[in-house]
Amino acid sequence: MPYEDESSTAFQGRAAARKAAKSSRRKKPPRGKRIAKYTAFGTAGVLVLGAGGAYAYVSYLNSNIRTSHFAGDHKLPPPKTDANGHSALNILLIGTDTRDKPEDCALGGSCADSGPGNADVEIILHVSADRSNASMLSIPRDTDMEIPACTAVNGTKYTPIHYIINSSFGRGGAGCTEAAVEALTGISITDTMTIDFSGVVAMAGAVGGVPVCLNQNIDDNYVYTDKTGRHDEGSHLILAAGKHIVLNSLQSLEWLRTRHAFAPDGSDIGRADAQHMYLNSLIRTLRSNGTVTDPGKMLSLANSAIKSIVFSDNLKSVPKLIGLADQLKGVKTDRIESVTMPYVADPKNPTAWLVPEPGAAQHLFSMIANDIPLTTEPTAASSASASANPSTAPSASASPSASRSATPPPAKGSFPVTVVNASAGQFDNRASGMVASLKALGFTGSKTGSSPATAAKTSTLTYPAALQAQAAEVATALHLTAAAVKQSADATGITLDIGLDWPSGADFRTTLPKQGSVPKDSHAKNADDNSGCMNVMPNYQWKGSTPPSQPKL
């Protein structure tokens, strides 16, 4: 018989049963004690059956998990670990408008297209390495970008294309959207979760609804049909102004889908704000009703999630999902911040598309990529984070993830590092000053290189595959971020290009954003803040005391 933990409930139950049975053979106890004995034996049996049933249930859930592996051609190094060996989580939540099932079509919109759909919701859930804080970053679906090359799960290869980011899903699924998000933000995605319309309904039903609030009555009756016959509809959300303590499953989907009816301009920005209100409220609801601390409720929620969500390979078991939930439940609500990518109108299509706001968007992306808390309240754990506090000792894994090796890298002085002042003359003697710093750190072969005529916005350390371990040594010494360290097939040696983002010093962490320095255009909202209500666009406000009738779908 395999080893069994003697502290387990099942083992103790069987032990109690054996002891009771052995005692009964010695002498017949009084009737009252016999009843107690049978009750104890029955309880032990229930415990044993309960343990076996839980195992069977978990096995059942495992067999129903759907996964989709990453298939993109653009992949950043994983987040670096902290001094305790822990790394941040960056989970990409993808909501698709796929209508390839009858239950999806029944929820509205056009079912004429049988393809994979679009990634209409893209939220990066970031959880810090020390699990003290978290954030949710929404990427507007109409963000114009250079979508990278991607290989779909079925082997179809897609070349780069300039288009809006939500189209990435139709080019190869979650992996291609993951590649696009990484290319846009520089944030290394660790896992993905993909859900469609009917999945949202199922999940909302499992939760039981969450509180939301409106400043005006809303009737999202948007309808559009183009010249080709393509048809689109709004969410059909009809709610009176004020606070609504509980939304049912269908209303939850309608709330999350509503776009044209929400201020400030009927675009995806208002929808992102409404989604953040819903998700923040959901977090508070789950904690207030004890779901996150109740194993039974967690298994029930896991059952609904497994039926509704397609996970990336790294999350393909129930223990991993429950372990993830266990890590998330330790983050306090006042340490969770929701934000939207700062944006400006796209010059190519200013009435419909967006582009990242120069400076502000990169600042916010850098905070998340480098595990810098968005909330301002300092914590003992976060103040010890190497990414947020330059005075802290660095992690040995600040370099590419594959740099760990049983064979130690060559001595620092035995390989050259070429330093280039890529500021186009804006920083005097920058390369020579860095060479001196590198030599002081033990890289005695460092030397200056020729400066380019055009300034580089960001600093990078490039290296050939053969010098990966050596590049890791340099990256660790200078505290470079993972995004700044890049392998190149064209590189013949290790080259450090110092861009406009690094005007002085030899510690790259001093260039990073400070804790709590969220750009003002980020629509930031704390999960602990339940104040505020959504505003409704004038054309979608119904008047009077009687709401309009809900259309039959």
Q: What is the pLDDT of residue 105?
A: 55
* Other CB atoms within 10 A of residue 416 CB: 14
Collapsing DSSP states into helix, strand and coil, what is residue 295? Answer: helix
Q: What architecture is the 401-511 domain classified under in CATH? A: 2-Layer Sandwich (3.30)
Arithmetic mean of pLDDT, 540-553: 82
Arithmetic mean of pLDDT, 541-546: 90
Collapsing DSSP states into helix, strand and coil, what is residue 169? Answer: helix
Q: What are the angstrom distances between the C-alpha of 498 and each of 77, 424, 449, 483, 528?
A: 20, 10, 11, 14, 41
Q: What is the pLDDT of residue 73?
A: 58
Arithmetic mean of pLDDT, 17-27: 46
Q: What is the DSSP letter of 289?
A: T
Q: What is the pLDDT of residue 423?
A: 94
Q: What is the pLDDT of residue 253?
A: 85
Q: What is the pLDDT of residue 196?
A: 79
Q: 224 falls in which pLDDT band (50, 70, 90)?
A: confident
Number of residues in the chain: 553
Q: What are the angstrom distances between the C-alpha of 116 and each of 36, 37, 98, 152, 201?
A: 61, 60, 6, 12, 19
8 Å CB contact between 399 and 475: yes
Q: Which residues have C-beta within 8 Å of that of residue 520, sequence separation ≥ 6?
A: none
8 Å CB contact between 148 and 162: no
8 Å CB contact between 98 and 196: yes
Q: What is the pLDDT of residue 101?
A: 54
Q: What are the angstrom distances between the C-alpha of 128 and each of 31, 125, 190?
A: 60, 10, 12
Q: What is the pLDDT of residue 295?
A: 72
pLDDT digit string (tens) for 45-90? Answer: 333 344 455 667 678 778 888 887 665 555 777 887 777 888 999 9
Q: What is the pLDDT of residue 553?
A: 52
Arithmetic mean of pLDDT, 516-544: 95
Residue 211: name the closest of 176, 163, 243, 183 by CA.
243
Q: Which residue has the higher pLDDT, 298 or 361?
A: 361
Q: What is the pLDDT of residue 308?
A: 83
Alpha helices in 27-165 (DSSP H): 31-64, 102-105
* Other CB atoms within 10 A of residue 386 CB: 21
Residue 483: name the closest of 190, 174, 182, 168 by CA.
182
Mean pLDDT over the full length of the chain: 80
How far is the C-alpha of 274 from the C-alpha of 263, rounded, in Å?
A: 10
Arithmetic mean of pLDDT, 103-121: 63
Superfamily of domain 89-383+528-540: LCP protein (3.40.630.190)
Q: What is the pLDDT of residue 408?
A: 64
Q: What is the pLDDT of residue 11?
A: 42
Q: 19 falls in which pLDDT band (50, 70, 90)?
A: very low
What is the share, in percent, of the chain residues with pLDDT greater than 90?
Answer: 48
Q: What is the pLDDT of residue 528?
A: 93
Q: What is the pLDDT of residue 496?
A: 98
Q: Quick check: 6 pLDDT over 60?
A: no
Question: Where along the chain do its domains lie?
Answer: 9-64, 89-383+528-540, 401-511
Arithmetic mean of pLDDT, 174-189: 92
Give the helix/strand (H/E) hosting 213: strand 212-214
Residue 165: name the closest of 313, 459, 361, 359 by CA.
361
Q: What is the pLDDT of residue 123?
A: 95
Q: What is the pLDDT of residue 96?
A: 86
Q: What are the angstrom distances between the C-alpha of 319 and each of 61, 127, 207, 290, 324?
A: 10, 19, 20, 20, 8
What pTM was computed for the model?
Answer: 0.76
Q: What are the angstrom distances between the C-alpha of 318 and each of 22, 331, 412?
A: 39, 21, 45
What is the share, in percent, of the chain residues with pLDDT greater than 70?
Answer: 78
Collapsing DSSP states into helix, strand and coil, what is residue 294? Answer: coil
How far is the C-alpha of 137 from the C-alpha of 92, rounded, in Å?
A: 9
Q: What are the angstrom distances between the C-alpha of 413 and each of 118, 364, 417, 446?
A: 52, 37, 10, 8
Q: Which residue has the higher pLDDT, 429 or 246?
A: 429
8 Å CB contact between 523 and 269: yes
Q: Which residue has the higher pLDDT, 7 or 450?
A: 450
Alpha helices in 67-225 (DSSP H): 102-105, 174-185, 197-207
Q: Quick check: 38 pLDDT over 90?
A: no
pLDDT digit string (tens) for 345-399? Answer: 999 999 999 999 998 999 999 999 999 999 986 544 444 443 433 333 233 333 3
Q: What is the pLDDT of residue 475?
A: 93
